[in-house]
Amino acid sequence: MSITKNEIKLIRALQQKKVRNQEQLFIVEGIKGVREFLNSHFELYKLFSTESIFDIDTTLISEQDLQKISALKSPNTTLAIFRKPMEQPIRESGLLIALDDVRDPGNLGTIIRLCDWYGIEHLICSLETVDCYNSKVVQATMGSLTRVYVHYINLGDFLKQTKLNVFGTFMNGDNIYSETLPNEGVIIMGNEANGISPNIELLVDKRIGIPRFGKLKAIESLNVATATAIILSAFKMK
Amino acid sequence: MSITKNEIKLIRALQQKKVRNQEQLFIVEGIKGVREFLNSHFELYKLFSTESIFDIDTTLISEQDLQKISALKSPNTTLAIFRKPMEQPIRESGLLIALDDVRDPGNLGTIIRLCDWYGIEHLICSLETVDCYNSKVVQATMGSLTRVYVHYINLGDFLKQTKLNVFGTFMNGDNIYSETLPNEGVIIMGNEANGISPNIELLVDKRIGIPRFGKLKAIESLNVATATAIILSAFKMK
C-alpha cells in the first residue's frame, strides 16, 4: 500500500491554515517529533515513512514521495498527519501567558517551549496570532506542543471576564527586577512590531518591563520570545 | 556612476566567510541597519541605494541591480559594504559571555542583542562559532553589533589565562535562582546540539543551570539564545 494521489494533495493542502481548520488535521515531520506526538494525547490520522520504525500501521513510501510531501529541505524519514485536539477549557489559575498578535512562527515555537519548561500549561493566543499547527511552529516546538494547551480566542473578551490579575509588558513598565511578582496572573506579550494593541492595553492591571542595562544608545527592544523568557524567569524565580 | 561588474562580484563573494576575512569587509542591508552602522565606529567602504537618502557618497542603483546583489527576498532600498573593525583587546572585567561553538546565525544575532541590552560589551566566541559578519547575523542583530565587541579566539587558551571566575551552563548545573551570582565573571554557553565541549568543561569553576518547572516529561532543553536571556537576567537581577 503506497501513498495515494489524494493523500499527497491533502498533505500539501494542510500547509494552509484554512484547510487545517476545515479538516481538523495537521502535519508533524521527523522521527523524533512524530514519536513525541504518538506518545501524547494527540490522535494519529495517518503515518508515512520510508522505513518501518514504528509499531503501528505505517504507509511505506519512497524517498521521492517523501520529498514530494515534505515541507523541509532535508526531510527526515517520517511524516505524520495528526488530528487537532478537542478544545479544552482554559484553567484560570496559576500563571498564564497570553499573546497579542505574535506573528512569527519561530517566536511562537520558542514561547511554547518556554511554557513547557516553566510548567505553564495554558497558552492563550489572540485570533491574529500565528497558528500553532503551522508546520514551522510544530517543528520549532520540539514536542512541547504535546504538553502545552494553546487556545485561540478573542483576547479582549477573555481578559474582560477573568478574575486573574492582568500583567502587560511594556518598554516603560515597572522594573520586573524590583517588583514582587505573584504566582498567579495572566502575562500579556505583544506583537513583534507594535507591542500590545491599544484595546488590550486598556485591560491591563499592571504594567511591567525589563530594564535595560546597556548604554543610552543601546537597542530599543528585545525579541518577543527572548522577552518572554526573561519575564517568565522573573515570575518563577524566588 | 552606477554599480560595476566587479562590485557585484565582490558583494556576492562577501557571502563567504573566507572572502570577508581576506577583504576585511562585510555587508549591511536595509536603511535602518545601514544608518546604525554609519552612526557608529564602523567605517563605510561603499554605499549603494535606489534613492539618495544619505548625506554621503552614494552609488545610485536600479531596483534590478539591488535584487542582484541582495541576499534578502525583499531587499530594502540600501546595501552597504563596511570595513571589519580593528581587533580590540578584551576587557576582562565585569560580566563577559563566551560562546562555545554556537552555530546558528539567528541564535548569535539574538545573543548579541541581549549583550547590548544588558550592557555586556565584550562577547567571546570560539573559533568554530558562526561568523558575526555573516549577513544573517548582521540582520538579526538590528544594529547591536555596532555596540558589542565580538572576539573570535581560542576559547580554551583564553579561559586558561583569565583571572575571572568561569561559569558554565549545564542541564544539571546549580540552580541559578538559588545561587548568589556575582557582578564579574565569564559565562559560557554551549553548542546547540552538544552543549559545552569536554575540553572547555574542564576549565569551568562553577556549573550553573536553569531549573525546569514543567512536568517530568517536559522538554529536555531550551534554545541557547533563550537560555542566555534567562542566565543573563539572573546575573543582572538584584
Phi, psi of B224 (to 5 degrees): -65, -35
Gap between the Cα atoms of B175 and B185, Å rounded: 17
- Contact indicator for A226, B225 with CB cutoff of 8 Å: yes
Indicate the average pLDDT of chain B.
94
pLDDT of residue A228: 97
Residue A19, burial from CB neighbour count under 10 angstroms (0-12, 13-18, 19+): middle
Percentage with pLDDT > 90 across chain B: 86
Nearest chain B residue to A114, by CA: B222
Q: Give the strand order in the sheet containing B59-60.
A: B25-29, B78-83, B44-49, B59-60
Residue B167 host element (H or E): strand B166-175
Most distant CA pair in chain B: distance in Å?
A: 65
**Alpha helix ranges (H) inside A86-165:** 105-117, 135-141, 155-161
Q: Specify the CATH number for A95-236; select among 3.40.50.300, 3.40.1280.10, 3.30.450.30, 3.40.50.2000.
A: 3.40.1280.10
Q: B216 pLDDT band (50/70/90 cuts)?
A: low
A118 in contact with B, Cβ within 8 Å? yes
Q: Is the pLDDT of residue A238 over 80?
A: no
Q: Hey, are the CB atoms on A223 and B143 less than 8 Å from each other?
A: no
Which among B176, B111, B181, B175 is positioned nearest to B145, based on CA atoms?
B111
Q: Give the strand order in the sheet containing A206-209.
A: A149-153, A122-126, A95-99, A185-189, A166-175, A206-209
A164-173 in b/e form (b: 16+ CB < 10 A) is bebbbbbeeb
pLDDT of residue B238: 67
**Alpha helix ranges (H) inside B84-153:** 105-117, 135-141
Cα distance from A165 to chain B (closest Cα, Å)? 21
Task: Count the Cβ atoms, other than its own, within 10 Å of residue B15.
Answer: 14
Cα distance from B147 to chain A (closest Cα, Å)? 7
Q: Hey, are the CB atoms on B226 and A110 less than 8 Å from each other?
A: yes
Residue A232 host element (H or E): helix A224-236
Most distant CA pair in chain A: distance in Å?
A: 65
Q: Hey, are the CB atoms on A214 and B119 less than 8 Å from each other?
A: yes
Q: Cα dihedral sign for A188, A201, B233, A104? A: positive
**Residue partners of A41: CB distance under 8 A and separation at least 6:** A85, A146
List where CATH 3.40.1280.10 sits in chain A: 95-236
Gap between the Cα atoms of B62 and B49, Å rounded: 8
In this predicted model, what pLDDT tens digit does every residue of A99-115 receive, in sequence order?
Answer: 999 999 999 999 999 99
- Contact indicator for A114, A145 with CB cutoff of 8 Å: no
User: Which of A117, A222, A237 has the CB atom closest to B212's CB atom?
Assistant: A117
- Contact indicator for B68, B15 with CB cutoff of 8 Å: no
B chain contacts of residue A225, beta-carbon cutoff 8 Å: 226
A219 in contact with B, Cβ within 8 Å? yes
A chain contacts of residue B223, beta-carbon cutoff 8 Å: 110, 113
Q: Hey, are the CB atoms on B117 and A223 less than 8 Å from each other?
A: no
- Contact indicator for B33, B142 with CB cutoff of 8 Å: yes
CATH 3.30.1330.30 assigned to A5-83: yes
pLDDT of residue B2: 85
Is the backbone of residue A161 left (phi > 0), alpha (psi -120 to 50) or beta?
A: alpha
A91 in contact with B, Cβ within 8 Å? no
- Contact indicator for B100, B197 with CB cutoff of 8 Å: yes
User: Which of B114, B147, B214 has the CB atom closest to A226's CB atom?
Assistant: B114
Nearest chain A residue to B220, by CA: A117
pLDDT of residue A211: 93
C-alpha cell at A172: 516603560
B chain contacts of residue A113, beta-carbon cutoff 8 Å: 219, 222-223, 226
Q: Is the pLDDT of residue B221 over 90?
A: no
Indicate the average pLDDT of chain A.
94
Instruction: Label the pairing between strands B44-49 and A185-189.
Output: unpaired
Task: Count the Cβ atoms, other than its own, within 10 Å of residue B109.
Answer: 24
Gap between the Cα atoms of A37 and A80, Å rounded: 9
Cα distance from A229 to chain B (closest Cα, Å)? 6
pLDDT of residue A216: 63
Gap between the Cα atoms of B85 and A232, Å rounded: 37
In this predicted model, what pLDDT tens digit does every residue of B152-209 receive, in sequence order?
Answer: 999 999 999 999 999 999 988 999 999 999 999 999 999 999 999 999 999 999 999 9
Task: Count the Cβ atoms, other than its own, within 10 Å of residue A24.
Answer: 13
Q: Hey, are the CB atoms on A219 and B144 less than 8 Å from each other?
A: yes
Residue located via cell numbers 499547527:
A133
Cα distance from B63 to chain A (closest Cα, Å)? 26
Cα distance from A121 to chain B (closest Cα, Å)? 9
Gap between the Cα atoms of A114 and B221, Å rounded: 10
User: Which of A215, A219, A236 has the CB atom closest to B213's CB atom?
Assistant: A236
Which among B231, B228, B187, B179 is positioned nearest to B205, based on CA atoms?
B187
B234 in contact with A, Cβ within 8 Å? yes
pLDDT of residue A23: 97
Size of interface A-B (CB pairs under 8 A): 100
B41 in contact with A, Cβ within 8 Å? no
A105 in contact with B, Cβ within 8 Å? no
CB contact residues (below 8 A), chain A span 167-206, against chain B:
177
Give Cα B159 to chain centroid, integer Å.
Answer: 20
C-alpha cell at B50: 535606489
B chain contacts of residue A177, beta-carbon cutoff 8 Å: 236-238
Cα distance from A29 to chain B (closest Cα, Å)? 17
Gap between the Cα atoms of A84 and A26, Å rounded: 7
User: Which of A113, A119, A230 has the CB atom closest to B222's CB atom?
Assistant: A113
Q: A73 pLDDT band (50/70/90 cuts)?
A: confident
Q: A210 pLDDT band (50/70/90 cuts)?
A: very high
Q: Is the pLDDT of residue A1 over 90?
A: no
A chain contacts of residue B233, beta-carbon cutoff 8 Å: 210, 229-230, 233-234
Concatenating the DSSP letter of every residue in A167-218 gives EEEEEEEEETTTS---S-EEEEE-BTTTBS-HHHHTT-SEEEEPPP-S-TTS
Q: Is A65 helix (H, G, I), strand (E, B) or coil?
A: helix
User: Which of B119, B225, B236 has the CB atom closest to A226's CB atom?
Assistant: B225
